[in-house]
A and B are shown apart, each in its own frame.
Chain A
Amino acid sequence: MATTATTDAPETSGAFGAVPSFDVTLRIRRFTPELTGAEAYWEEFTVTAYGTDRLLDALHKVKWDLDGSVTFRRSCAHGVCGSDAMRINGKNRLACKSLLKDLNPDKPITIEPIKGLPVIKDLVVDMDPFFASFREIMPFLITTGNEPTKERLQSSAQRERFDDTTKCILCAACTTSCPVFWTDGQYFGPAAIVNAHRFIFDSRDEGAAQRLEILNDKEGVWRCRTTFNCTEACPRGIEVTKAIAEVKRAMITRAF
């Protein structure tokens, strides 16, 4: 089925000059068990878009003007909340950080749910297993003894050591791009390891040994096959594979 919509004005129009428009077709992987049974299917929608539009704008046009039942998560719409990770032309991306003009709108853009987590409806997956892995690595500062009266001191260099992994927004783009995770849902996955890294290399933290013990598990960090999918998928530009390698090295050298 193909449907078309045009709206009078771009959603994002306003102060920023005139922007040329073009048509774009979205090929969406749909799953609506309540209405159409247990088989997923493809559906195409064509909408008019503008040069500054994100894929999320096009998805909204589909939902708001063509078919309200097309279902996806979104919130902030500028890449900081992590709600709208999806598989766009075969790559994990945030819909709100993918500009249509960068996606070659001459061909239909395929949109699927992220892989490896149970699909609930259309592009919405069950995130609970993902957050369960996150919780397992004790993602919080662990300290002993009395707290200082004022702040704990930390040098800029010590702060810089784990800066990259503090950027994580838990969108799951990395974990659901990982071939090991696809075949083995027990694997902690890159996001959990990134968040372990954030604390293992924080000079204020005293829980590194415990976390490394957890990640030394057979479903832990050694499952990583260094395919770099995660680094490529991260919308925050975190060097995920490098972080995983640093955790592996810390496990061997016990230096962190």
Chain B
Amino acid sequence: MQTHQYDVVIIGAGGAGMRAALESSKRTRTAVISKLYPTRSHTGAAQGGMCAALANVEEDNWEWHTFDTVKGGDYLVDQDAAEVMAKEAIDAVLDLEKMGLPFNRTPEGKIDQRRFGGHTRNHGEAAVRRSCYAADRTGHMILQTLYQQCVKHDVEFFNEFYVLDVLLSDDLTGGEVPDGAEVKVSGVVAYELATGEIHLFRAKSVIIATGGAGKIFKTSSNAHTLTGDGMALAFRRGIPLEDLEFFQFHPTGLAGLGILLSEAARGEGAILRNGDGERFMERYAPSIKDLAPRDIVARAMANEVRDGRGAGPEKDYILLDLTHLEKAHIDAKLPDITDFARTYLGIEPYTEPIPVYPTAHYAMGGIPTTITSQVLRNNTDTVGGLYAAGECACVSVHGSNRLGTNSLLDINVFGKRAGVAAAEYAIGADWVDLPDDPEVGVVAELEEMRTRPTGERVADVRRELQQTMDTNAQVFRTDASLRQALADVHALQVRYATVSVQDKSKAFNTDLLEALELGFLLDVAEVVVVGALNRQESRGGHFREDFPLRDDAGYMKHTMAYRRPLGQVAPAAVSTATSAGPTAAGATAAGPTATGSDPVESVGGPGASAPGTFDVVLGYKPVVVTRYEPMERKY
């Protein structure tokens, strides 16, 4: 084992991680640990743009942007956080331009802006041009630009290192640490892919910036590597996950493949049509039509297909029609996504509409943080030195549905905030003692999994997980479908305990890493489903057919999901939780005893999913409301 010592360790080298690194490394000794080379991160797949009220092409201001974000999130957004994001958006875009990002330009040479879903003028009057963009590869340009700046400033990277444990001063999973007690981070344990060696990083501050978890679903726009690692690591150490039941299904994935076609297509004038050629969004969102927020469009599309108005031989997809747009306009503004349609479906978008269908895209929820990116371990207490930013975090600026472009904004605004805060904390903080033998749990789990001669195949368990999540926990959900999903996830967790890999070697063992990632997926999926089962209302990206209306009296509050020992009711701070409700029922219905397996003993480390040892316990956190009282959401 090798040991390292840095003031700040950042986990993840996507947009949030690198934006944090630029701030932190100029203030103090910083290392970035990434399971991929930084330029492979999925920030690079983002297409459409980054909204900021620059008002370069028409009147706009940050207050309108705040309102759109709050309304788009169906009023589950913390309004103080949304205001911070919308205000700081302007400098975030200008920062990137000064770093060299090649934005498209207006005739005056300023940053050009275009329309995007849910972004409106004067509180919903009409679509506004707010999205700053670089063709349809804005995320690629952000990722490249941030990496270029990291090269310039000599940021230190540990590439292809997997963080497998986040070390805290206290074990929170027992539920015995009182509210108000001081809990601090002391470092991370990482696995070097090239050699199989374990590395211990001691740190005063740790920033989790590991991105999303879209691979819990089968049809997804996400990279294979988006397996919820950071969320699951925090959760396993007893830190709650907030609002994870809210998952965004992006309306326009390539049908059958899930590959993303940006909302920028509709921002540039493309139209969604059903099998009858009808522009059906006129019925669902009369004022902004195809540019309604994603949850509304995705549901409308699924609804059209369900009612027999889909397109294609099986009537099972919707058409994205660009054929009325000028070829030159398409080439200039949407070159990459039209190339995707040609490459993967053999469709020529100049002349043929593109088959599309909703695809799992973005986790609105994640590790709860304050507006300075500090990780919360309950509704009020932060963990000293621990920060999170980007998709793995929940500030919450996206509430129950994220507006398009607000993710690229989130990573820049809160990545920067995390980097500044983590560095400043580290400069003033003392070293925290590491636990004894901090690597033991990780090493034991890795070795056991690597050397287990036979057992379940990783791919089989993962396929079944993704299938049940697509079938039972996607755009439309019911009590019955979610109970089925929970039972399936629990059964798969039991099977996961005996998973075996074929590659027994130490060097570059991606077989072994996929197995570990599957453990993260199972943990995250369980939290998604338990939260969805408990939330008996429909809001944003979470739609319950058995509870089709939003219920502000019952559920205008954030879900906080904790890993706690079996049988524990709820953390003290959240004693109002309905733990006797569907959650407990779900847990008993599908507990490991029902499948006939013995409970699995915890190895004392982060452990894999541990059926029979822990339960998901739910609490609630109030939504921060500053300016905007909840209203009915109409577009």
Contact = CB atoms under 8 A, between A and B. Distances in A.
A79 to B, nearest CB: 7
Interface string A62-92: 0111011101111111111111000000000
Nearest to A149: B94
A32 B141 CA distance: 36
B36 A75 contact: yes
B100 A76 contact: no
B501 A68 contact: yes
A77 B224 contact: yes
A14 B151 contact: no
Given A140-B148, A153-B110, A17 B502 contact: no
Nearest to B506: A34
Given A76-B44, A97-B343, A71 B108 contact: no
Interface in B209-264: 218-219, 223-225, 255-260
12 contacts: A52-B257, A68-B502, A72-B510, A78-B344, A80-B44, A80-B140, A81-B36, A120-B508, A124-B508, A139-B148, A169-B140, A202-B102
Contacts of B134: 166
Contacts of A154: 105, 109
B256 A169 contact: no
| 7 A-B pairs with least C-beta separation | A16-B256, A141-B100, A64-B459, A68-B502, A153-B109, A69-B503, A68-B511
Contact of B219 (A14, A65, A155): A14
Contact of B39 (A12, A63, A82, A147): A82
Contacts of A153: 108-110
B508 A14 contact: no
A156 B344 contact: no
A135 interface: yes
A162 interface: yes
Contact of B223 (A76, A121, A138): A76
A217 interface: no
Interface string B111-154: 10000000000000000000000110100110010001101100
B317 A156 contact: no
Given A17-B313, A68-B502, A83-B40, A152 B98 contact: yes
Contacts of A16: 255-257, 312, 316-317, 345, 355
A15 B345 contact: no
Contacts of B105: 154-156, 159
B45 interface: yes
A248 interface: no
A65 B458 CA distance: 9
A204 B100 contact: yes
Contacts of A82: 39-40
A64 B458 contact: yes
B314 A17 contact: yes
A152 B317 contact: no
Contact of B256 (A14, A124, A152, A205): A14
Given A16-B255, A76-B45, A71 B508 contact: yes
A205 B340 CA distance: 32
Interface string B504-515: 111111110000
Interface in B339-369: 339-340, 343-345, 355, 357
A1 B509 CA distance: 21
Contacts of B99: 140-141
A127 interface: yes
B107 interface: yes
Contacts of B444: none
A18 B312 CA distance: 11
A16 B507 CA distance: 39
B457 interface: yes
B627 to A, nearest CB: 27
A166 B224 CA distance: 25
A188 to B, nearest CB: 15
A78 B45 contact: yes
Given A69-B504, A153-B108, 13 more contacts: A12-B256, A16-B316, A54-B344, A75-B225, A76-B42, A80-B336, A140-B99, A141-B100, A156-B104, A162-B102, A169-B39, A170-B39, A199-B100
A76 to B, nearest CB: 4
Given A78-B259, A81-B42, A140-B152, A99 B343 contact: yes
B140 A141 contact: no
Given A69-B505, A139-B148, A64 B98 contact: no
B147 to A, nearest CB: 8
Given A151-B94, A153-B110, A155-B109, A78 B340 contact: yes
Contacts of B107: 156
A13 B505 contact: no
Nearest to B108: A153
Contacts of A155: 105, 109
Interface string B544-588: 000000000000000000000000000000000000000000000
B469 to A, nearest CB: 13
B6 interface: no
B312 A67 contact: no
A35 interface: yes
A99 B36 CA distance: 25
Contacts of A237: 339
Contacts of B104: 156, 159
Contact of B45 (A15, A80, A141, A147): A80
A131 interface: yes
A29 B538 CA distance: 52
Nearest to B310: A15
A163 interface: yes
Contacts of A81: 36, 39-42, 44-45, 223
Nearest to B153: A140
A132 to B, nearest CB: 11
Contacts of A152: 97-98
B223 A205 contact: no
A170 B498 CA distance: 39
B98 A147 contact: yes
Nearest to A16: B256
A6 to B, nearest CB: 14
Nearest to B196: A34
A33 B134 CA distance: 44
A83 B152 CA distance: 23
B136 to A, nearest CB: 11
A69 B255 contact: no
Interface string B41-65: 1101100000000000000000000
A35 B506 CA distance: 10
A107 interface: no
B504 to A, nearest CB: 8
B102 A159 contact: yes
B111 A151 contact: yes
A167 interface: yes
Contacts of A139: 148, 151
Contacts of B108: 153
A124 B194 CA distance: 10
B502 A205 contact: no
A69 B511 contact: yes
Contact of B312 (A17, A32, A52, A199): A17
Interface in A43-65: 52, 54, 63-65
A225 interface: no
Interface in B76-113: 94, 97-100, 102-105, 107-111
Contacts of A69: 502-505, 511
